[in-house]
Chain A
């Protein structure tokens, strides 16, 4: 019995201490409440609902991927080799066998509004064996890269993403579900590891490398703006000439004549993928160019342009009598930014075709006249400003 007394005392002290703590807390709460209390009154406003546009206004620049050259009066296809399944193929620089880890990089354009979700994205790749004795099939696997990181891998040397049947070009469309937004599509890099299965290694001919899919508002196709061929083990970079001012140029097929005519032109076609219903606020063409050589005897290389909604003429900018621009330089690029106010809705934007009519003024060829020269183009890009309510 004597041993229990200290325990009881200790327990009692503990209870007293807890009581003191709780009491103090209660007292503090009461004091604080009293201190903060006071009369108040409320007035309310709203609720106010604020909804943002589906696509914010902004510029989206798209290079001409389809280019036709009619400088000699007959149209020829000078389009980007990887943008269309058109039998315009590009062989790898080197014959390539399985397991080499040598690759082709395709960097895609950035013409779509950012921040949009993407559904059903696919990588479209069309290839075939270069053929020849003991040739086999062309096969590939690939990685999808965004922001410098690999976000998806499709196939392997052991399990190809797809193969051609010999030299017959075959398109393989592979779902790339890891691409979920236009932020990723813009500037996406697809690294393709191709190989040829023949007993004697061959090159691989590539016809198409695009990514297609849909946003909630429209379908799109992303075209390459640059490709890198590393099949030799030494990467070689080849930008698409129209995409940027980078010194990679396109020189016209033939010299222009001494008179403007609608049968001689450089034709540019664009695929901006502007969603239906968008409000197109401004469109402009950026043409960066010069003559292939200095124009002699006081002559100049000039052009004016005509815009089309498909095949329907929309407007002309300049004329044979009043050129849009001229230059005599064979080295210094002229940069012309030409507003195209007539392109004022999504339909016209998506069907936009521009013909540039070049000629040497006042004439060319012959004794004492300026030399007839070609045009050299470094960039041909249209910027579409639009939004979607």
Chain B
């Protein structure tokens, strides 16, 4: 008795144990995969051919060299000279030269100070030591010790009076140009409001001036 599928190809048969032949040598599936691969490769080549055009190339190179930046102090640098027997209302003037060198100009400068050993002289931000910085357009004329300075040119304020300890405190009115020097006078003051609790104390202050490059430009 004939079935409804009688006379049609075997692929249309319902899955039977004979379908395992698809995965055997000489079976249908490898042939199918190989055919798809050939078709895919042909399509890829055809695609490349669609986008291809005439091309030519040349090569060039450039050297990018960074500049240099150098901030140094001296020859005048009195900041290492301390003071003793300081009383409320006393101030100490010390000169320092900042030299800008290198092939890049500076864009800004800051001052960072620290104290070691420390005392209420540097931790008391109100009645403790304060620092102010002035700049003279020419080298300061020094007298003393105790050191005092007069300016034969024009003066400008670099840092208004501030507590002696600060981090990255911005400095103003500096030249900052490579090849130039700023003549600074650092004035440390113990305010007249300093009370008896600040008697017989000692602090050692370290000063670090940091010069930062100018802003980036189109080169």
Binding site for B on A (CB under 8 A): 38-57, 113-116, 183, 387, 389
Interface residues of B in 67-99 (CB under 8 A from A): 67, 69-73, 77, 79-88, 92, 94, 96, 98-99
B107-133 CB contact bits vs A (8 Å, 1 = yes)?
000000000100001000000010000
Confirm or deny: B210 has a beta carbon within 8 angstroms of a beta carbon on chain A: yes
Structural contact, A40 and B212, CB atoms closer than 8 A: yes
Beyond the given A39-B67, A52-B86, A115-B198, could you list 20 further A-B residue pairs with CB under 8 A, ordered by the A residue number?
A39-B69, A39-B213, A40-B69, A40-B210, A41-B69, A41-B71, A41-B211, A43-B99, A43-B208, A44-B206, A44-B209, A45-B73, A47-B82, A48-B94, A49-B202, A49-B203, A49-B204, A51-B83, A51-B202, A183-B196
Structural contact, A46 and B69, CB atoms closer than 8 A: no
B182-211 CB contact bits vs A (8 Å, 1 = yes)?
000010101000111111111111111111
The residues of A that contact B204 with a CB separation of less than 8 Å are 46-50
Q: How far is the CB of B159 from chain A (nearest CB, A)?
A: 13
Q: How far is the CB of A139 from chain B (nearest CB, A)?
A: 38
Most chain B CB within a 10 A radius of its CB, from A40, A48, A113, A387: A48
Nearest to B197 among chain A residues (CB) is A115
Confirm or deny: B104 has a beta carbon within 8 angstroms of a beta carbon on chain A: yes
Nearest to B94 among chain A residues (CB) is A48
The residues of A that contact B85 with a CB separation of less than 8 Å are 51-53, 389
Given contacts A48-B81, A53-B200, contact A43 B209 (CB under 8 A): yes
Interface size on B, residues (CB 8 A): 51
Cα distance A39–B102 in the bound complex, in angstroms: 11
The residues of B that contact A38 with a CB separation of less than 8 Å are 212-213
Most chain B CB within a 10 A radius of its CB, from A38, A42, A43: A43
Cα distance A51–B66 in the bound complex, in angstroms: 45
Structural contact, B201 and A44, CB atoms closer than 8 A: no
Q: How far is the CB of B119 from chain A (nearest CB, A)?
A: 9
Structural contact, A46 and B79, CB atoms closer than 8 A: yes
Q: Of B79, B82, B209, which contacts A51 at CB under 8 A?
A: B82
Structural contact, B80 and A43, CB atoms closer than 8 A: no
The residues of B that contact A44 with a CB separation of less than 8 Å are 73, 206-209
Q: Of B71, B199, B205, which contacts A47 at CB under 8 A?
A: B205
Cα distance A116–B205 in the bound complex, in angstroms: 25
The residues of B that contact A41 with a CB separation of less than 8 Å are 69-72, 102, 210-211
Structural contact, B87 and A53, CB atoms closer than 8 A: yes
Structural contact, B121 and A43, CB atoms closer than 8 A: no
The residues of A that contact B190 with a CB separation of less than 8 Å are 50, 52
Given contacts A46-B80, A51-B201, contact A39 B207 (CB under 8 A): no
Q: Of A40, A45, A48, A52, which contacts B198 at CB under 8 A?
A: A52
Structural contact, B92 and A50, CB atoms closer than 8 A: yes
Cα distance A54–B86 in the bound complex, in angstroms: 9
Cα distance A51–B85 in the bound complex, in angstroms: 6
Q: Of B72, B81, B83, B199, which contacts A115 at CB under 8 A?
A: B199
Structural contact, A45 and B96, CB atoms closer than 8 A: yes
Interface residues of B in 167-188 (CB under 8 A from A): 186, 188
Nearest to B71 among chain A residues (CB) is A41
The residues of A that contact B212 with a CB separation of less than 8 Å are 38-40
Cα distance A53–B196 in the bound complex, in angstroms: 10
The residues of B that contact A116 with a CB separation of less than 8 Å are 196, 199
Cα distance A51–B203 in the bound complex, in angstroms: 7
Structural contact, B81 and A53, CB atoms closer than 8 A: no
The residues of B that contact A387 with a CB separation of less than 8 Å are 87
Q: How far is the CB of B21 from chain A (nearest CB, A)?
A: 33
Nearest to A115 among chain B residues (CB) is B196
Cα distance A57–B86 in the bound complex, in angstroms: 10
